[in-house]
Structure 1
Amino acid sequence: MPVIIAFPLAFIAFTWIERLEQAYASLLKEVRELGRQASTDPLTGLLNRRSFEKQFDSAMQHRSGGKFIIADVDYLKAINDQHGHVIGDDAILACATAMSQVLGDECLIARIGGDEFCAFLPLGAARSLQQMSVAINEAADRDFKLRSRLDDVTVSISVGMAPCPPGSSFREIMARTDSDLYRKKIRRPER
């Protein structure tokens, strides 16, 4: 008689444990997804500003430095005004994709504002600003034309770069690099 009672109880307990394990696995998956969403920009999938700052500060405490880049999409307001915000989003996505392709996986890249991006390149990944800028602009324009199907609109990005010595804070390196970007932007002709 005990076997007759024990078997159904064991089956019920096993089923209950299996459901708990499935619920736990599902909860872990949700937590990972929420963590990803909290640290990334929803449009581009790049790091958001908060996550970038945290990872940058950690890198500055543990690495030997590198280069800091700040970039923004040129004439995004004109694109939005002439073609709409969906096409403007295409421009932002094209620039994000281009930066990721050109800078590579060893770099931290973030969208830190509407049309602004920043990146940290460790010493081994640092190339010349001119090479990177040309490659990013070519890739962004090519990707934008594919996304938007507008062959007559050009997308470009202005890029500023500054050396990033160990121990630099995000705030100080951002100010220094922003000055470099601003000097480049004022030299660009209006559209």
Structure 2
Amino acid sequence: MILLTKITLLLFSSIFFSYILYMKSHSFKKIEPRKCSLNLMIIGMAFIVVGEFLNFISSFVKYRVDIYVSFCFILGAILFVIFAIIFLNSVDNTLKCLYGCVYEDAMTGVYNRNGIKKIFKDTINKEDNFFVMSFDLDETKIINDNFGHLVGDEYIISAARAIKEVLGAKGVVGRTGGDEFAAIYISTDQEELKKVKTHINKRASEIFNGSNINISMGFSTYKKDGKNMKELFDLADKRMYQDKKNKRKADQRF
């Protein structure tokens, strides 16, 4: 029975070791893992296989090999645990990267459309009332036409940062289009919202050294204006475009 156990352990450890070597030469080569951590696993597994082999032949030799068996198992286990720690840390970083790709906008660093949808679902489970906000950056086309798209991108990035900083801990902002943003803001005070709008426009005008650039904004209120995400964002968009029209009318008077 003891001999059968030794054979089984040797067989399975050898198969696993062979599988690791196969994965290194095929699948691991494609994803390019850290060679150092992968080699630790291979060396650690090699010691374990050697230990299993010595443990197996100990039944047939006169010499005591217990000390070598223990040495191989302990060293192999240490190397394998070190690999596991490095590997799990790498997996954690990869998952964070994947989360960023799914929910974050690569250019601005704020949430993307999927991220805002997730935040909305999370918020309705925690908050009874909040604002859904819609933003559109004014004069983006003019900036792109006159100064180039690189400057236009910098404008979008700076505007995203300004909106995020003004909303602070009470708000979450996401980019939903080229120069369009949406936000969830935990408040029901419209006077507070007016101050937020004024502050955002002040920050926008500072992006190009006191230029007269503004950010159009609309909002809707959860429960009061609806509970469905689409109707709330549609209403916020409608009010945002009305805000943009009002600015144009005001500019035409002067």
Report the TM-score when normalising by structure 1.
0.86
Q: 1:127: how far off? A: 4.7
Query: How many percent of aligned residue pairs carry the same amino acid?
Result: 25
Contact 1:66 1:126 in 2 (8 A): no
Aligned residue type for 1:174: F
Which structure's residues are more often helix, by fraction?
2
Going from structure 1 to structure 2, the CA distance change for 1:2 and 1:27 (only over 3 Å counts) comes to: same
Q: Which residue of 2 aligns with 1:77?
A: 141
Work out the CA distance in 1 between the residues paired with 2:88 and 2:186: 38
1:162 is paired with a residue of what secondary structure?
strand
Higher strand content, 1 or 2: 1
Alignment of 1:33-112 (within 5 A): 33-112=97-176
Match of 1:175 among 234, 240, 248: 234
User: C-alpha distance in 2, partners of 1:183/1:125?
Assistant: 21
Match of 2:91 in 1: 27
Instruction: Check whether the contact 1:98–1:137 (CA below 8 A) recurs between aligned residues.
Output: no
The farther-off stretch of 58-67 and 101-110 is 58-67
**Which of the residues 200, 206, 220 maps onto 1:136?**
200
Query: Per the alignment, do residues 14 and 175 of structure 1 end up closer, same or farther by CA in structure 2, a change over 3 Å counting?
Result: same
Cα deviation for residue 162 of structure 1 reads 2.1
The verdict on how the C-alpha distance between 1:139 and 1:25 changes in structure 2, with shifts beyond 3 A counting, is same
Gaps of 5+ in 2: 1-64
Provide the aligned length of Structure 1 versus Structure 2.
185
Where relative contact order (Cα < 8 A, 6+ residues apart) is larger, the structure is 1
**TM-score, normalization by structure 2:** 0.66
Q: Could you say what secondary structure the match of 1:183 adopts?
A: helix
